[in-house]
Each structure stands twice: as structure tokens, then as C-alpha cells.
Amino acid sequence: SRVLLDVKDLRVSFDTYAGEVQAVRGVSFYVNKGEALAIVGESGCGKSVTAQSTMQLIPMPPGRIKDGSVMFNGKDLTKLTDRQMESVRGSEISMIFQDPMTSLNPTMKVGKQIMEGLIKHQRMSKSEAKKKAIEMLDVVGIPNPDKRVEQYPHEFSGGMRQRAMIAIALACNPKLLIADEPTTALDVTIQAQILDLMKGLQRDFDTSIILITHDLGVVADMAQRVVVMYAGKVIESGTLDEIFYDGQHPYTWGLLNSVPRLDTNAKEKLIPIEGTPPDLFSPPKGCPFAARCDYAMPICREEMPEETFLTEDHFVKCWLQHEMAPNIENPTKIKR
């Protein structure tokens, strides 16, 4: 099968003193082999929690995966023991984060951090692992890798740390790389370099990528398919072209109008989405976007819309798809 990862009906909650926060509310998506899938949405929409839960990492603050299955390469990750899962995380699925300092160990040489996984999961000898570590630093574009391998993270610049983290993540040649806002903290030039690096690795090693971002410019540059999340739910999904040129959800339109994109000239006026997402202590029973939506109808506040499939890949959850709904023209300015 072409599908590498198949997440079905994932539900994740945080238990707080004030009650249960339903951060992820029945999320399903899949990733094909060798494909880059972007999960997009504003901060707090549940995209990072979805990614962490996919790897069976308990998100902070104390969260729990309430329901759902995560089929990866034929096995359900939710059914693995901690130990089995740890070995999957080290060798088959890797994750990189926005801030490398949260995942790099400041007290350990960068080279040693690359070597750890190789020794543990690939049973390499120390000298083999060191050779591979130098090779990986070279692959991710770090100059003088045989010198750098002996240095500590604080001796690296921000962009170099991000590269080092990618080297660690890719050393064991994982089938899936999950990148959570990998370039958000970097300046535009370095950002473009890191994205190019990831694209090259995807092509050369056939790695599948889940890219988590709020930046649609990054998405356009990198992903083949897109999942749009809002208030813990997937509200639209499709190929890159289907979302960019034929997006159907008013929230997707809002994202497209509010984020600077690489494919248009920068002078175009950006329109922020007014309002804030709903409180996930008590999510609304209808469409979660209703309070912010210019097109909301009475039914929208009463009932959550079902999926409407427009193509095999493209679906949207919005009452505007109903045959009785008014015809609204796509208000985004991006035209084919």
C-alpha cells in the first residue's frame, strides 16, 4: 500500500483543575510513502498535540490519548509497549521542533548526540557511528564536519543547530519525519535553506514528512497535501492545489488571506482573521468556526457539518456545501 501512516479518529484531552480540555477531537489523516503532508492552523488548534500523540508522546500539560488508532507501516502504535514505541521513535519516526535547544542536549557534544541512536538502534560500533555522524553533518550542510562533531550545541548558530537537529533526526534513516514549525524561529534566508535541505532529504531518502506550520508560504514550498485544523478538528483537506486554488472552507479562505505567501507579491494587503477560537473546555456543538465566520447560518450553530468530498482527496466540513446553502464565490485572491 502507498499509505505509510494512517491516523483514525484521534482524541486527546488535557485534564486540568478547571476541567477537561478537548485539544484533539476526532482527527483522521494519512501520509503516503515519500510524501510531505502539511498540517496547518493557528496556534492552539491542536496540530502539535496531534503530532506528539501520533508518536505516542504524552503531550504537556498532562494529556491522555482517549481514543483513536495510529497505523504505521502495518502496526497500530497505540498498542505498542513503551519500550517498543521507544525503538520506533529512535529509528522509524523522528521529530524535529521549532527550538532545537529543547531537543538538543546542551551538555553533550553534537556528534555524540547523533551517534547515540546509531549505536542503540543500528548496533554500530563507536567508530562507525562517529564516521556516520560526520557524514550526516556534511549531508545537512555543516562546514568542517570533522571539527564540528566535537563541539557542543552552544558553539553552533541558530541555523546550524537546526541542521544538527535534522542530522540527529535523520541519522537512522527514518521512514517518517515530523517537523513542528521547524523554521519559525529562523530568519528568512536560513529558513529557505532549511526547507531546501528537507526537500532534498525527502527526495534522496524517500522520507515521508509531516510538516506542522501556521505559515502557508512554507506549505506552498514544501507539501504535496494539506490538512487544515481548527479547534481540534480537521475542517478541510486536499492536495496543495486543491487547498490553495480551490479551498472551500471559510477558515481556509481566512488563512489564505491572512498569511504572507511566497507566490504573490509582498505588497498585497493581508487580512487577519478576526476573533478567537472557541474554548475547548466546552466546545460548541455546531461548527467551531461559526462565531468568526462571515457566512454563518442558523444551522451552523446547531450542528457540526459532515464531510463533503469534492474529489477523492479533497473534503470540507462546512454547511455552505449543502444544496440549500447560498452560493458564495471563493473570496481569496489566488487564482490559477
User: Does 48 help bind Mg ion (rule: CB under 5 A)?
Assistant: yes
User: Does 94 help bind Mg ion (rule: CB under 5 A)?
Assistant: no
Which of residues 49 and 169 has its CB atom nearest to Mg ion in the complex? 49
What DSSP element (H or E) covers 133? Answer: helix 126-139
Size of the site for ligand SF4 (CB under 6 A): 14
Q: Report, in this order, helix, strand and coil percent for the chain, each rounded to 5.
A: 35, 25, 40
Q: If contact means CB under 5 to 8 A according to the sort of partner, which of ligand SF4, Mg ion, none does residue 29 touch?
A: none
Q: If contact means CB under 5 to 8 A according to the sort of partner, which of ligand SF4, Mg ion, none does residue 53 touch?
A: none
Query: Alpha-carbon dihedral of residues 103, 105, 111, 117, nearest 10 degrees?
Result: -60
Kindly state the smallest distance separating residue 109's Cβ from ligand SF4, in Å: 51
Radius of gyration of the chain (CA): 21
Which of residues 175 and 233 has its CB atom nearest to ligand SF4 in the complex? 233
**Measured CA distances, 276 to 50, 141, 268, 272, 273 (Å):** 20, 40, 24, 11, 8
What is the grid cell recorded at 182? 521547524
Q: Can you tell me which of 70, 124, 300, 334 binds ligand SF4, judged by CB under 6 A?
A: 300
Q: If contact means CB under 5 to 8 A according to the sort of partner, which of ligand SF4, Mg ion, none does residue 48 touch?
A: Mg ion
**Sole window of 44-52, 149-157, 283-291, 315-323 interacting with Mg ion (rule: CB under 5 A):** 44-52
**Sole window of 10-18, 74-82, 106-114, 290-298 interacting with ligand SF4 (rule: CB under 6 A):** 290-298
Q: Can you tell me which of 24, 137, 142, 318 binds ligand SF4, judged by CB under 6 A?
A: 318
Q: Can you tell me which of 237, 293, 315, 334 binds ligand SF4, judged by CB under 6 A?
A: 293
User: CA 249, CA 212: separation in Å to the nearest integer?
Assistant: 19
Q: If contact means CB under 5 to 8 A according to the sort of partner, which of Mg ion, ligand SF4, none does residue 233 touch?
A: none
Q: Which of 217, 235, 219 is nearest to 209 (CA)?
A: 219
User: CA 323, CA 325: separation in Å to the nearest integer?
Assistant: 6
**Sole window of 14-22, 46-54, 221-229, 328-336 interacting with Mg ion (rule: CB under 5 A):** 46-54
Which of residues 101 and 325 has its CB atom nearest to Mg ion in the complex? 101
User: CA 192, CA 199: separation in Å to the nearest integer?
Assistant: 10
Tracing cell 473570496 back to the chain, one arrives at 331
**Sole window of 78-86, 169-177, 238-246, 312-320 interacting with ligand SF4 (rule: CB under 6 A):** 312-320
CB contact set of 316 (below 8 Å; sequence gap of 6+): 235, 236, 248, 249, 252, 307, 308, 310
**Sole window of 24-32, 34-42, 81-89, 295-303 interacting with ligand SF4 (rule: CB under 6 A):** 295-303
Strand pairing report for 3-16 and 19-32: antiparallel
Which of residues 77 and 273 has its CB atom nearest to ligand SF4 in the complex? 273
Nearest-CB residue for Mg ion:
48
User: CA 292, CA 258: separation in Å to the nearest integer?
Assistant: 14
> Which residues of this protein are in contact with ligand SF4, per CB under 6 A?
249-250, 287, 289-290, 293, 295-297, 300, 305, 318-320
